[in-house]
Structure 1
Amino acid sequence: MQSKNRSLKEAKVAEIKEKLEKAQGVVLSEYQGLNVEEDTQLRKALREAGVEYRVYKNTLVTLAAKELGIEGLDQYLQGPVSIALGYDDPTSPARVLNDFAKTHKKLQLKAGVVQGELFGEAQIKEIASIPSRDVLIAKLLGSFKAPLSNLAYLLNAIAEKKGEEAAE
């Protein structure tokens, strides 16, 4: 019986380790006090943002983090802790959880790991203010487009002026 239990725990640690390794952004939060409706809203918002939301035993997460060389995470794994894992956008777990926590005071951000680096609560809240990758790309493309539009407008105005002078 003992070896079966041990093998189940080892499999769970391997699963957590794989998820932590794949994730670009991980945020730990304390969710105690949320009712079922609020938890459902949170899970829906995270799912829509492409973020996986799980609750694991703290000891198993600690073991997986140590195997990956993530130091200091165990100090945040006290009490009921949930884990949000973002695989595409490293800021999305922090952004969604922070937005939800603004209207639901019982949800508290604890810490996070973004691209392998551990951050505390204050730093995770700063990371949450960074726009998503798609928004940043749209802004970049917009900044490229504006000068080109102005150039096209200027060239068109010059062409029209020369056309008017030739007609006279």
Structure 2
Amino acid sequence: MKPEEKGVRPEKVSEAAELDQRVAGALYMIIADYTGMDMPTTTALKDSLRERGASFNVVKKTMLSRAVDADIAELLQGQTAMIHGDGDVVEVAKVIKKFTAKNEKPVVTGGFVEGKAVTANDVVALAKLPSKDVLRAQLLGTLQAPCSQLVGVMDQKVSTLVYVLSAVKEKKEQEA
């Protein structure tokens, strides 16, 4: 019997549909090799990621390569896990970097952020960035700086005028 005649098992169809849905709904997807991680370590990583709004799922390489439109064969090494979510990718990258520094696993092989391919080095670079809140504060400070400097200059000019008038007043009082 040919494979076409056999058909695909319903479990496989539902797994593929679920994976397609996860990939389509994710703002970012980081692919990692989790070879050698034991269950307590994996659970600890999953809990850390869940706090940041991310999920850690073990996936089959063939299903993942079919779900992603790009050629990702070089990313699929060892036992493959997919870390995905729709929150702040920088926070998730920091969690992964911190966890990897402590446990030496998982090994990030690459991924996608907002539809663009990223390498493992790019994920490390993301971990070095400040969080969105810090970046927003820096932007706000940059936008407010000209206004506060203008207020300072105007205040200085008014103060100078007051000092001059005070000096004229004192001089006239001494002459009188």
Decide: shared fold, TM above 0.5.
yes
Give 1:90 deviation, angstroms. 4.0
Q: Helix, strand or coil for the counterpart of 1:84?
A: strand
User: Once superposed, what is the RMSD of the aligned Cα atoms?
Assistant: 2.4
Q: Give the SS at the match of 1:79.
A: coil
Pairing 1:99–2:82 present: no
Which segment drifts farther, 12-21 or 131-140? Answer: 131-140
| Residue aligning to 2:141 | 142
* Offset at residue 15 of structure 1 (A): 1.7
Distance 1:148 1:81, change over 3 A: same
Q: Residue 164 of structure 1 aligns with which residue?
A: 163
- Number of residue pairs aligned between Structure 1 and Structure 2: 162
* Runs of 5+ unmatched residues, structure 1: none
Greater relative contact order (CA < 8 Å, ≥ 6 in sequence) = 1
CA distance in 1, matches of 2:48, 2:59: 20
Give how far 1:154 is off.
Answer: 2.4
Displacement of 1:36? 4.1
TM-score normalised by length of structure 1:
0.79
Superimposed CA distance per residue, residues 29-87 of structure 1 (whole angstroms, 9 cap, x where no aligned partner)? 1223334443333223212222222122222222212xxx222x233223322111131
- Give the gaps of 5 or more residues in structure 2: 1-5, 170-176
Residue equivalent to 2:42:
39
The structure 1 segments of at least 4 consecutive aligned residues displaced by more than 6 Å after TM superposition are none
- The TM-score with structure 2 as length reference comes to 0.76
Contact 1:26–1:83 (8 Å) recurs in 2: yes
2-side partners of 1:146 and 1:38: how far apart?
Answer: 46
What letter is aligned with 1:70? A
Aligned to 1:52: 55
Contact 1:51 1:92 in 2 (8 A): no
CA change 1:45–1:150 in 2 (3 A) is farther
Higher Cα radius of gyration: 2
Identity %: 27
Partner of 2:20: 17
